A and B are shown apart, each in its own frame.
Chain A
Amino acid sequence: MIRVGIVGGSGYTGGELLRLLLGHPEVEVTQATSESNIGKFYYQVHPHLRGRTQGRFIGRDALQECDVLILAQPHGEAQKNIHRYAALAQKIVDLSADFRLQDAATYREAYGHDHAAPEWLGKFVYGLPELYREQLRGANYASGVGCNATASNLALWALVKAGMVTPNQPIIVDAKVGSSEAGREPTDSSHHPARSGIVRPFALTGHRHEYEVRQTLANCGDFDVRLSITSVELIRGVSAAVHLTLQPGMADKDFWGPYRAAWNGQPFVRVVHEKSGLHRHPEPKLLAGTNYADVGWEYDPHSGRTVLLCAIDNLGKGAAGSAVQSMNLMCGFEETAGLTFGGIYP
């Protein structure tokens, strides 16, 4: 068993990390911090954890040494304190956006300010195991992933890897997202009368996750990926539809080959492209609480117009699930350990 600490345990991703790690066969959660809930049992903040642990939140100042620290704080916190955290644990997974981008200039462009610890950017592996598995094995530092970036990357990856997507075209990701993406802190926009029932476009251009997607796909070309995000009546979930144009005249078999090449053998990516029934395409509803990403496509052979699809749970594959999967690889555990929940239906 390894000792794992969570910094920032009271948010939604912190709660998801606790839920996953309390069921992990190789992990003992030895500490979790919450500055606003010091002394409270975990289940008093995350009620679904009642009966699973008697752990209580501590303050950051009380953190002890452990084997792995998982940071689930607001963006900007990890980069300010990374030296201290690195002195407490040999391995760190940071779920925030602080160490996702490899280049300080790109970080400044994306986030509008200088990085507080630019010398650390190159030490972190981007924590998307489906694309960085070998780099994550045995690594000491991994970033988290942006949830919308993850849905975009996984939607695009099979065909980008196969060389079927020409770089010189606009690639538009239309992502429908749930309310938990906005985090635990209530705001005017998340107030129930204002949020319930909405289809609210809120980031149609200039989303920061675009930088993560371009960085991830950069080895295959310079892809002009643009995100448009719309909040919908979901709590958990991202449904990404990536619009682009391929050569006309292809058949479904021309897609199945690259999808099989990319995803066969990957434990958490499933190809969903059914010819009949209700669930022909990926749907986030089926993925709540899981670490799965479902991917698929729709293609018009007359025009070449193509829509690549990916659905995930933003708190699962889009955050805590990928973080635990990365930790498993970093620590030499079975990659699927603690992540085998298969979802519920209906």
Chain B
Amino acid sequence: MSAPSCPECGAEILIPANAMAHELLPCPDCGTELEIISLNPVTLDRAPEVEEDWGE
């Protein structure tokens, strides 16, 4: 089975063996916060974001 990919940039996402549903993890390439929607099969989606002004 192929590894799940980031819905934002397509990077391959390694899911930890002890991962839980609704756990959050960042994409290693684009940094998007991802939520594990389900584990069997693994489904990822962008986690809800709080709007921010990132310092400007």
Whether A252 pairs with B8 at a CB distance below 8 angstroms is yes
Interchain CB contact under 8 A, A274 and B30? yes
Query: What is the number of residues of chain B that contact chain A, defined by CB distance less than 8 Å?
Result: 13
Q: Does A161 contact B (CB under 8 A)?
A: no
Q: Within the complex, which residue of A257, A271, A276 is in contact with B32, where a contact is CB–CB below 8 Å?
A: A276
Q: B11 touching A277 by the CB < 8 A rule? A: no
Question: A270 CB to closest chain B CB, in angstroms?
Answer: 10
- When the two chains form their complex, are residues A276 and B49 in contact, meaning their CB atoms are under 8 A apart? yes
CB contacts (< 8 Å) of A275 on chain B: these are: 8, 30-33, 49
Given contacts A275-B30, A276-B32, A276-B49, contact A256 B54 (CB under 8 A): no
Enumerate chain A residues within 8 angstroms of B54, measured Cβ to Cβ: 276-278, 280
Does A253 interact with chain B (Cβ within 8 Å)?
A: yes
Cα–Cα distance between A257 and B6 once the two chains are bound (Å): 13
CA distance A277 to B54 in the complex (A): 6
Closest A residue to B52 by beta carbon equals: A276
> Is there contact, CB below 8 Å, between A253 and B9?
yes
CA distance A252 to B29 in the complex (A): 12
In the complex, which of the residues A257, A273, A278 contacts B30, with contact meaning CB atoms closer than 8 Å?
A: A273
* Alpha-carbon distance A275/B31, docked complex (angstroms): 6
Complex CA–CA separation, A256 to B5 (angstroms): 13
List the A residue with the shortest CB-CB distance to B9: A256
Whether B11 and A256, one on each chain, are in contact in the complex, defined by CB atoms closer than 8 angstroms, is: yes
Who on chain B is nearest to A254 by CB?
B10
* 5 closest residue pairs by CB, A with B: A274-B31, A256-B9, A275-B32, A253-B10, A278-B55
Residues of A at the B interface (CB closer than 8 Å) are 252-253, 256-257, 271, 273-278, 280
Binding site for A on B (CB under 8 A): 8-11, 29-33, 49, 52, 54-55
Q: List 13 A-B contacts (CB under 8 A).
A: A253-B8, A253-B9, A253-B10, A256-B9, A256-B30, A273-B29, A274-B30, A275-B32, A275-B33, A275-B49, A276-B32, A276-B54, A278-B54
